[in-house]
Amino acid sequence: MIEQLKNLNIGEVLENVDLKKYNTYRISGNAACIVFPNNLFNLIELLEFLKNNNIKYKVIGKGSNLIFNDGYDGVLIKLDKFDKFIIQGNEITIGAGCSLIKVSNQLARLGYTGFEFATGIPGSVGGAIFMNAGAYKSDMGYIVKSVTVLTPDLKVKELTNYDLDFHYRTSFIQKNPGYICLEATIILKKGNSEEILQLIDDRKKRRLESQPLEYPSAGSVFRNPEGDFAGRLIEESGLKGKQIGGAMVSNKHANFVINYGGATGKEIKELITLIKDTVKDKYNIDLKCEQEFVE
């Protein structure tokens, strides 16, 4: 299969890859193959090949919300080459493979406001659309005008903000497997770059004080239930510092599970399940996990 993929000449093909550098938990595990399509035409060609041969595949971004159980025995697709970045007045079109942190910081330096919330989110633009990533009472749904997607039947289509049905940490794309984000057009306002950068710097300092950024993690594990905070519920359940193998509930922020040292995907999953069950037993609240377990 891998030789056939290489012969398609659709982009870089890596085989037997350690997944450690492709997920922010830094979980090791073997991926049979990772493909980096050169362009849209090559992506469609790749997907046609995979579908025709009934080969398991998954499109991933920066791996900032993924928990690999024990590697991946199919084809992982990364859209790093989808890196369009075009500014036309207050409308900015950004490729799905672009780093959310990089583009949001770049736009801040150019004096654009409205995207500051994303400067600490270590995902791709495509992943941010999928999850409706957000922080500081804002999210992608507030700034996205439209998204170009590849549909399950491999047609290119534009979805408006309304079509995308953005809600708290979810979107149409997340609810409809098979749709792939190719690029997004966002609308921002012009502001004072010095003030914008000062706000970003202040928030960064607060994150360093309140979040365990010195350890590998995937950010907040659970969505906040309405009217409450997942971190408070977990802390009040006595789970701060709880460990299973190398996975640990952070002592700094209870809604973070960290890779304290050599954690496996299985250990992280077990700890997340324990947290969910404990909070359910104590408060009768079903915490919803933001992170995805990849089998």
Over residues 183-242, the pLDDT tens digits come to 999 999 999 999 999 999 999 999 999 999 999 999 999 999 999 999 999 999 999 999
Domain 212-290 has CATH 3.90.78.10: yes
The top-level CATH class assigned to 85-194 is alpha beta
The closest of 221, 215, 211 to 268, measured between CA atoms, is 221
CB atoms within 10 A of CB 43: 24
Judged against a pLDDT cut of 90, whether residue 70 lies above it is answered with no
Is 124 within 8 Å of 100 (Cβ atoms)?
A: yes
Instruction: Determine the topology of domain 2-78 in CATH.
Output: 3.30.43
User: pLDDT (tens digit, 9 = 90+) per residue, 105-123?
Assistant: 999 999 999 999 999 999 9
Name the band, by pLDDT with cuts 50, 70 and 90, for residue 255.
very high
Return the axis-axis angle of helices 100-109 and 193-210, rounded to nearest 10°: 140
Residue ranges per domain, the chain?
2-78, 85-194, 212-290
Is 41 within 8 Å of 48 (Cβ atoms)?
A: no
pLDDT given at position 150: 98
Name the band, by pLDDT with cuts 50, 70 and 90, for residue 144.
very high
Q: Which segments of 144-208 are extended strands (E)?
A: 144-150, 156-160, 180-187, 189-190
Q: Which residues are catalytic?
A: 169, 220, 290
Name the band, by pLDDT with cuts 50, 70 and 90, for residue 169.
very high
